[in-house]
Amino acid sequence: MISATAADYGWIRSPSSFFTYALEAGYTLTLVRGVSPAELLEVAGAEPQGVCEGLVELIEQHADILDGYEDSPESFLAGAFTVPGEGGDWTLALEFGGDLGTRPSIMEALSTGTRAVSHSSNGGKPMDFFHWYEDGELRTTFEWPTDRTGSTPDELNEVMREVGLHPTRDSDPNIDTKAAVFALTERLTGVQVTEELLAEAEYQTGNVPEAPVDEWESITVDITDAHGERTYVHVRRDQL
């Protein structure tokens, strides 16, 4: 029985840990059962970039890609490798400043017939998210443990309490909620993520294009003030 708790992931805050870069820059960590690293990158639409020997090299290659853009990056680097877990092999994918594990279209495709779990942070702000998919369906997702959505938002409540997250009240200030999310992910995957695992892995890499921005045709502004006065304006794109 997997008994991981937040205490098992205290290493993510160690000043000597390379994962501090992920927390500062923003990251997404995704785990998918029964899908190879090459298959995961293909589903994500990634352009293959070869292999990175360890986390330091992955970070360096990520930084090189960022240096190649004068403005906002048009793609981000994802690294993936195979790791044993519950029910067989899983692929762990790690990226900095990207959103592979948070795009519904990618996660639905990756989790078809299997399970996929991801968690992320956008860095300094921060906004932190957790996603659990089962057979193409988003089962539970949250930014704050008390504000869950998905098709089964309450199914993980008991295990959330066990790892240190509180689904019905504010979390214990003495519990590192990010470490607790790592533990929750281990409970769902059987994959124990350690500093050594990330540091020494051989990452198969690919450049994932940024998600296209949806075109818009119009916007609506609908505001009611404290006196009940309503302002309603509909503006077409060709009017701007």
Rounded average pLDDT over 182-197: 97
The number of domains in the chain is 1
Task: Provide the pLDDT for residue 172.
Answer: 79
Structural domain contains residue 233: no
Cβ 78 vs Cβ 44: under 8 Å:
yes
Q: Which domain holds residue 65?
A: 6-214
Residue 173 lies in a domain: yes
Encoded tokens for 92: 């762990």
Q: Whole-number mean pLDDT of the chain?
A: 88
Q: Is residue 158 part of a domain?
A: yes
The lowest-confidence range among 49-63, 196-210, 216-230 is: 216-230
- Residue 54: pLDDT band (50, 70, 90) is very high
Q: What pTM did the predictor assign?
A: 0.86
Residue 129 pairs in a beta bridge with: 120
The answer as to whether 220 is a domain residue is: no
- Measured at the CA of 86, the angle between CA 107 and CA 102, to 5 degrees, comes to 20
Q: Is 238 within the bounds of a domain? A: no
